[in-house]
């Protein structure tokens, strides 16, 4: 397993040079503590924790996995101790509400911590990671009593949280869920049902786990309009606020799965468990979207982490592994062969991983800033604009980044050749761990329908226009920049084509609604490459300016510019295939009778 090294220089490049975090934080309400010195100190300490504590536990979690018994789940060796260090360091409270024990720093700073922790050890990072969504949901929709009872403990890290949606017969189609909630005389509810695939649903790291559960009230409307949301703790809060008597919540089993062995994926049984309604009756799915949107950005980080870890491991190997000679002559004449990094195809794989990881970081941090603005912008119009753009970018970030992050993880393994398939190097673990990202929080297909159907077509393209206008402005401002021409011209072209393709799909959908589903995944992937093109063009501009100034970090900026050039010439052309495919029509998918699929 590669030893994770936090890419601090690139993290600071994206935060400070690309997205100007100092100005961004200064323009937020109640973010005075997010000074450059404070932010830098937090990132430095966070990097140490990820590198020195979490990274060494990554193979341990994979090898040992979690252990189930009737008493609960035991996490791998060192996981609980690492969590205690995490809590002692105050990390769970970093971006939480000060009214409930939080430090009040912007959530985008917490995203940086999530990236480092997740890349170092994704299985471990999911335990506190699931709590963030639960915390945000209670903050947004809970009563003051619920906040005082649960938020203080969860923000401190004493308790963790989960989201309980999926049932054995329903995944993304939550309208068919069967878990019931019967009202009790004391204002609470009795929940009965079984949820599956509950990440971090049971463990030994905290005294209590707070489940956020979707269920139906008696007489509720059918479908998604009849779903309510409940807080159901593993242990009922005692009068002094501690974890008291055990609730009727149990872990029936844990899944034996492809990867992320160090995190328990649980079957959770609610056998008349006591819970409390959160938010209005029959509006649970709307409230749960607070949790799901946070989780989607969290899952996008998994794509970034898979690419970054794969790149770090395969880069080190490519510099050391000797095999064959360069076609243009020996590059290591004193050795038996050249290091494989000299070969063009190995360069292709390394540069793809690098372009994916650095582009993903830029996109995730951009969405994180938009989330900051939704929460803390001083002007209402800024909050509204940020919310619209965040809604548009979220399905792209979640689905596109997990798709290409998994591709990058596979390329990391491929650089090792046969050694990559052997567990001792850790690259096959990275591939296994990354695979679930395309399924978590709604599959790529679900995200694509959300993007094309809900976010674009249902708004008559307004959400798309809010982004393409920014791209158009960038291209217009830099149209006369000869050095930037190689980036601006193809960016302007794809930005224009993006709108044209959207119009064509919309016209096709007016005749046959199935055209939306037929085109959606290719549309999402095209959109992801287009967003990356915009971000890479901006990063290229910064690099060119720094090089022109004679900056002392010439190597860093040269690498950034060269990676941008690789992206535009070697990855952006993928959009041509996606454009052709999304317009190919639904007929080739739907004309074949079901019986013709038979073997």
DSSP β-bridge partners for residue 251: 268
- Measured CA to CA, the distance from residue 347 to residue 550 in angstroms comes to 27
Q: What is the mean pLDDT of the chain?
A: 96
User: Residue 454's pLDDT band (boundaries 50, 70, 90)?
Assistant: very high
User: Residue 291's pLDDT band (boundaries 50, 70, 90)?
Assistant: low
Coil, helix or strand for 185?
Answer: coil
**The pLDDT of residue 382 is above 90:** yes
User: Residue 288's pLDDT band (boundaries 50, 70, 90)?
Assistant: confident
Q: What pLDDT was estimated at residue 145?
A: 96
User: Residue 290's pLDDT band (boundaries 50, 70, 90)?
Assistant: low
- On whether residue 180 sits in a domain, the answer given is no
Query: 469: closest CA among 574, 362, 582, 389?
Result: 389
- On whether residue 91 sits in a domain, the answer given is no
**The pLDDT of residue 35 is above 70:** yes
Q: For residue 232, what is the enclosing H or E element? A: strand 228-233
User: Residue 170's pLDDT band (boundaries 50, 70, 90)?
Assistant: confident
- Measured CA to CA, the distance from residue 306 to residue 539 in angstroms comes to 22
Which residue range is the domain that position 497 belongs to? 447-588
- On whether residue 141 sits in a domain, the answer given is no
Q: Which residues contact 276 (CB under 8 A, 6 or more apart)?
A: 146, 187, 188, 189, 230, 231, 232
User: Residue 141's pLDDT band (boundaries 50, 70, 90)?
Assistant: very high
How many domains are there within the chain?
A: 1
- On whether residue 455 sits in a domain, the answer given is yes
Distance of CA 64 to the CA centre of its chain: 25
pTM: 0.97
**What is the DSSP track for 37-96?**
HHHHHHHHHHHHHIIIIIGGGHHHHHHH--EEETTEEEPPTTHHHHHHHHHHTTGGGTTS
User: Residue 176's pLDDT band (boundaries 50, 70, 90)?
Assistant: confident
What is the percent of the chain with per-residue pLDDT over 70, rounded to a whole number? 99
Q: What pLDDT was estimated at residue 551?
A: 81
Choose the catalytic residue: 139, 358, 441, 515.
441
- Measured CA to CA, the distance from residue 408 to residue 350 in angstroms comes to 9
- On whether residue 11 sits in a domain, the answer given is no
- On whether residue 576 sits in a domain, the answer given is yes
Is residue 402 within 8 A of residue 444, CB to CB? The reply is yes
Is residue 351 within 8 A of residue 415, CB to CB? The reply is no
| pLDDT average, residue stretch 533-554 | 96
Instruction: Please say if 22 is a catalytic residue.
Output: no
Is residue 529 within 8 A of residue 578, CB to CB? The reply is yes
DSSP β-bridge partners for residue 254: 266
User: Residue 253's pLDDT band (boundaries 50, 70, 90)?
Assistant: very high
DSSP β-bridge partners for residue 377: 28
**The pLDDT of residue 175 is above 90:** no
Distance of CA 324 to the CA centre of its chain: 39
- On whether residue 535 sits in a domain, the answer given is yes
- On whether residue 34 sits in a domain, the answer given is no
């Amino acid at each position: 397993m590669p030893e994770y090294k936090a890419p601090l220089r690139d993290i600071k490049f994206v935060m400070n040079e690309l997205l100007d975090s100092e100005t961004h934080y200064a323009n937020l309400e109640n973010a005075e503590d997010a000074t450059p010195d404070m932010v830098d100190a937090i990132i430095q300490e966070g990097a140490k924790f990820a590198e020195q504590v979490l990274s060494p536990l990554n193979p341990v979690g994979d090898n040992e996995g979690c252990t189930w018994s009737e008493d609960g789940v035991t996490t791998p060796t060192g996981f609980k101790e690492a969590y205690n260090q995490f809590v002692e360091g105050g990390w769970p409270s970093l971006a939480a509400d000060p009214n409930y024990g939080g430090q009040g720093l912007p959530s985008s700073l917490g995203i940086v911590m999530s990236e480092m922790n997740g890349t170092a050890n994704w299985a471990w990072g999911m335990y506190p990671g699931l709590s963030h969504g639960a915390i945000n949901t209670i903050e947004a929709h809970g009563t003051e009593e619920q906040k005082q009872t649960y938020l203080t403990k969860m923000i401190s890290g004493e308790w963790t949280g989960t989201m309980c949606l999926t049932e054995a017969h329903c995944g993304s189609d939550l309208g068919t869920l069967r878990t019931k909630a019967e009202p009790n005389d004391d204002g609470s509810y009795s929940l009965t049902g079984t949820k599956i695939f509950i990440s971090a649903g049971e463990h030994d790291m905290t005294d209590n786990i707070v489940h956020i559960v979707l269920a139906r009230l008696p007489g509720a409307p059918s479908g998604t309009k009849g779903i309510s949301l409940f807080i159901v703790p593993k242990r009922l809060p005692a009068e002094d606020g501690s974890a008291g008597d055990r609730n009727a919540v149990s872990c029936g089993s844990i899944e034996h799965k492809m990867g992320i062995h160090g995190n328990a994926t649980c079957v959770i049984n609610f056998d008349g468990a006591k819970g409390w309604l959160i938010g209005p009756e029959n509006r649970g799915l709307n409230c749960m979207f607070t949790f799901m949107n946070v989780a989607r950005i969290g899952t996008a980080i998994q794509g970034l982490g898979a690419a970054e870890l794969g790149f770090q491991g395969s880069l080190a190997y490519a510099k050391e592994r000797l095999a064959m000679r360069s076609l243009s002559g020996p590059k290591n004449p004193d050795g038996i062969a050249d290091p494989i990094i000299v070969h063009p195809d190995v360069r292709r794989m390394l540069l793809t991983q690098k372009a994916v990881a650095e582009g993903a970081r830029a996109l995730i941090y951009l969405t994180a800033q938009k989330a900051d603005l939704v929460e803390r912008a001083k002007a209402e119009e800024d909050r509204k604009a940020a919310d619209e753009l965040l809604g548009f970018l979220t399905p792209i970030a979640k689905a596109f980044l997990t798709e290409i992050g998994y591709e990058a993880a596979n390329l990391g393994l491929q650089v090792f050749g046969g050694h990559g398939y052997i567990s001792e190097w850790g690259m096959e673990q990275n591939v296994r761990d990354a695979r679930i990202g395309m399924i978590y929080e709604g599959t790529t297909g679900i995200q694509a329908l959300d993007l094309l159907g809900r976010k674009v077509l249902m708004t008559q393209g307004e959400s798309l226009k809010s982004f393409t206008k920014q791209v158009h402005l960038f291209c217009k401002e830099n149209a006369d920049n000869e050095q930037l021409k190689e980036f601006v011209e193809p960016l302007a072209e794809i930005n224009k084509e993006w709108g044209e393709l959207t119009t064509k799909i919309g016209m096709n959908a007016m005749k046959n609604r199935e055209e939306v589903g037929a085109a959606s995944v290719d549309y999402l992937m095209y959109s992801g490459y287009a967003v990356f093109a915009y971000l890479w063009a901006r990063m290229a501009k910064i690099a060119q300016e720094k090089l022109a100034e004679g900056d002392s970090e010439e190597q860093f900026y040269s690498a950034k510019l060269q990676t941008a050039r690789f992206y535009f010439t070697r990855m952006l052309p993928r959009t041509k295939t996606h454009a052709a495919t999304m317009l190919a029509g639904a007929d080739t998918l739907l004309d074949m009778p079901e019986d013709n699929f038979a073997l």
